[in-house]
């Protein structure tokens, strides 16, 4: 079970993740109110979300189908019959005093995802409703409640404790993110809370047969914090155990400002949720016909898309994998390929475009680069109007201004000089002005060839066609 490279100071971390994913339905899980982020407070609230006496929840078929989709995508068992339970606790953002969730008979059981060639098992995924939102800054002595989020459908995806390091936890989370965005069942936006993560962490000696006592870390809202929170917690537990202490089974909060986890004071928060089947909702049967209907409606999964990209666009494993890592990038690439060269487009997306996205930490959708202006850029590289070096400049300008590369090339006079006569004149002038280098080159200093190329590029502000320059210089210097 233990993997040597994940052992820290003789301890094997054991990690399981609970990922809450907000489903992208039109309406809430049990009410017909709109499911939308960022609207005015308390404008997306139904009588059912208010928990008014006498109202009855009615299950949203859309949410059920999205849950089934996730199950199919992770080779899981879809329940023949699922049952909703009440989880009872009092908090002001939960008007009913209970959350409707699934405990023993969830919609999805026993799934599996491939993370870097290793299988991470999914224990279950269940449907439940989100709570409202409480805020504490508006008044000194009051908190305020917004119920727009109350009743928004969540799919809680619970992994088995198969994860062995913080880095692997991040990769698993990215995989889940990839699956849910490919399936179009969630936008997976962690900063807006549509994907949230709790981590169960324990440590054990590699030869031990039982897991150690685990602590649960709540409130982790970015990929970066998942890694940091888990690493902090592993170190904390190692220190504790090596100093003769014991790990308490408790819930801890991750504080990203201080980069530490803190106990939520076990006793005060000790919860006894008194789960029981929700009497308002009788057992829900899921028919094979419904599962088939969902299967037919399913979008291509990442692995399928990668395989198709390899054969259809003649890409290598690495290229296909990078292009398919996010659905938006894959769609962008396919759109560009309709008019542009697939190999060249792939090279530029994987290299220069990704570099810009990483540098500015934004997604392709949020950037000024679109399929139209990017296709034009590729066309201009392909037909030799601009060199690769100039193309980088043009891309930067597109990034900043969102303008069309054809306009940029025209207004800045960036067309590549391929005219042989013009280039030959410039090359001849370079040779005439650098007689000592010419002599050295001719006496065997081959490396100086690059110097001449550089000089011609300098004279033309980088606009000379590099292939043509090479040929002309070779010819002239051979004389």
Partner 1 sequence: MDKIELKNLLFLARISADEKEHTKIIEKLKNTFDLIDEMQDLDLSDLEPLNNPLELNNVSREDVNNDRNSKGEFLNNSPESDEDYFLVPKIIE
Residues of this chain that interact with partner 1 (CB under 8 A) are 25-27, 32-34, 40-47, 50, 58-64, 83, 88, 90, 92, 105, 134-136, 138-147, 272, 274, 277, 279, 281-285
By C-beta, is 252 or 380 nearer to partner 1? 252
CB of 195 to partner 1, least distance (A): 20
Token pair 């849950």 is found at: 67
By C-beta, is 90 or 318 nearer to partner 1? 90
CB of 264 to partner 1, least distance (A): 10
What length is written for the chain? 479
By C-beta, is 35 or 455 nearer to partner 1? 35
* Encoded tokens for 36: 């939308």
By C-beta, is 186 or 385 nearer to partner 1? 186
By C-beta, is 54 or 421 nearer to partner 1? 54
| Nearest-angstrom CA–CA distance, 114 and 412 | 49
| Nearest-angstrom CA–CA distance, 367 and 395 | 12
| Nearest-angstrom CA–CA distance, 46 and 62 | 18
β-bridge mates for residue 99, sequence order: 87
| Nearest-angstrom CA–CA distance, 78 and 289 | 12
By C-beta, is 40 or 446 nearer to partner 1? 40
By C-beta, is 59 or 238 nearer to partner 1? 59
CB of 394 to partner 1, least distance (A): 45
By C-beta, is 105 or 374 nearer to partner 1? 105
By C-beta, is 153 or 342 nearer to partner 1? 153
* Encoded tokens for 459: 């004279």
22 exposure class (CB count in 10 Å sphere: 0-12, 13-18, 19+):
buried
CB of 271 to partner 1, least distance (A): 9
By C-beta, is 284 or 368 nearer to partner 1? 284
* Encoded tokens for 341: 């060269």
CB of 179 to partner 1, least distance (A): 21
CB of 156 to partner 1, least distance (A): 20
**Cβ atoms of residues 323 and 336 within 8 Å:** no
CB of 96 to partner 1, least distance (A): 13
CB of 73 to partner 1, least distance (A): 19
By C-beta, is 98 or 332 nearer to partner 1? 98
* Encoded tokens for 177: 């993110």
| Nearest-angstrom CA–CA distance, 328 and 362 | 12
28 half-sphere exposure, CB direction, 13 A CA radius: 26
Which strand (E) or helix (H) includes residue 114?
strand 108-115
CB of 17 to partner 1, least distance (A): 24
CB of 160 to partner 1, least distance (A): 24
* Encoded tokens for 134: 């409480």
Among residues 217, 76, 220, 66, which one has the least CA distance to residue 152?
66
Among residues 52, 9, 14, which one has the least CA distance to residue 30?
52
* Encoded tokens for 434: 């650098």
By C-beta, is 61 or 304 nearer to partner 1? 61
Q: Nearest 5°: CA angle at 18, between 16 and 22?
A: 155
CB of 261 to partner 1, least distance (A): 15
CB of 414 to partner 1, least distance (A): 51
* Encoded tokens for 180: 């849910």
Write the DSSP string, 335-397: HHHTTS-HHHHHHHIIIIIHHHHHHHT--GGGSS--HHHHHHHHHHHHTTSS-HHHHHHHHHH
CB of 297 to partner 1, least distance (A): 13
**Alpha carbon of residue 28 to chain centroid:** 24
**Alpha carbon of residue 339 to chain centroid:** 28
* Encoded tokens for 35: 């499911």
By C-beta, is 250 or 424 nearer to partner 1? 250
Token pair 């530029």 is found at: 348
**Cβ atoms of residues 456 and 423 within 8 Å:** yes
């Amino acid at each position: 079970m233990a993997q040597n490279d994940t052992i820290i100071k003789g301890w094997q971390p054991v990690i399981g993740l609970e990922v809450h994913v907000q489903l992208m339905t039109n309406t809430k899980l049990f009410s017909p109110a709109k499911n939308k982020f960022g609207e005015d407070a308390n404008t997306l609230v139904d009588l059912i979300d208010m928990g008014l006496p006498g109202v009855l929840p009615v299950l949203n078929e859309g949410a059920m189908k999205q849950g089934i989709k996730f199950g199919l995508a992770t080779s899981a068992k879809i329940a023949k019959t699922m049952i909703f339970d009440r989880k009872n606790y009092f908090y002001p953002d939960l008007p009913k005093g209970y959350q409707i969730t699934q405990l023993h008979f969830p919609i999805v059981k026993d799934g599996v995802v491939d993370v870097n060639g290793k299988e991470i098992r999914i224990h279950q995924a269940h449907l439940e409703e989100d709570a409202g939102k409480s805020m504490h800054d508006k008044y000194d002595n009051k908190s305020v409640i917004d119920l727009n989020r109350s009743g928004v459908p969540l799919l809680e995806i619970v992994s088995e404790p198969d994860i062995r390091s913080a880095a692997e936890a991040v990769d698993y989370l990215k995989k889940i993110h990839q699956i849910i965005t490919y399936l179009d069942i969630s936008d997976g936006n962690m900063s807006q809370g549509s994907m949230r993560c709790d981590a169960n962490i324990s440590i054990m000696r590699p030869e031990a047969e039982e897991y150690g006592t685990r602590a649960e870390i709540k409130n982790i809202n970015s990929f970066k914090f998942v890694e940091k929170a888990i690493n902090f917690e592993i170190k904390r537990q190692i220190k504790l155990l090596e100093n003769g202490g014991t790990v308490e089974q408790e819930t801890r909060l991750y504080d990203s400002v201080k980069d530490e986890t803190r106990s939520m004071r076990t006793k005060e928060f000790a919860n006894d949720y008194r789960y029981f089947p929700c009497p308002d909702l009788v057992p829900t049967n899921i028919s094979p016909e419904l599962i088939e209907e969902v299967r037919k409606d399913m979008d291509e999964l990442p692995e399928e898309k990668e395989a198709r990209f390899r054969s259809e666009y003649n890409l290598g494993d690495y290229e296909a994998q990078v292009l398919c890592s996010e659905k938006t990038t894959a769609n962008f690439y396919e759109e560009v390929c309709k008019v542009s060269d697939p190999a060249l487009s792939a090279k530029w997306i994987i290299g220069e475009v990704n570099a810009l996205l990483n540098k500015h930490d934004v997604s392709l959708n949020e950037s000024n680069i679109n399929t139209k202006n990017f296709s034009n850029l590729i066309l201009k590289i392909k037909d030799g109007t601009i060199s690769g070096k100039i193309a980088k400049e043009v891309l930067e300008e597109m990034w900043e201004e969102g303008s069309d590369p054809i306009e940029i090339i025209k207004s800045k006079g960036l067309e590549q000089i391929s005219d042989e006569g013009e280039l030959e004149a410039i090359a001849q002038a370079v040779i005439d002005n650098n007689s000592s280098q010419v002599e050295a080159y001719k006496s065997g200093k081959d490396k100086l060839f690059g110097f001449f190329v550089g000089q011609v590029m300098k004279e033309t502000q980088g606009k000379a066609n590099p292939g043509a320059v090479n040929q002309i210089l070779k010819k002239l210097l051979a004389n």
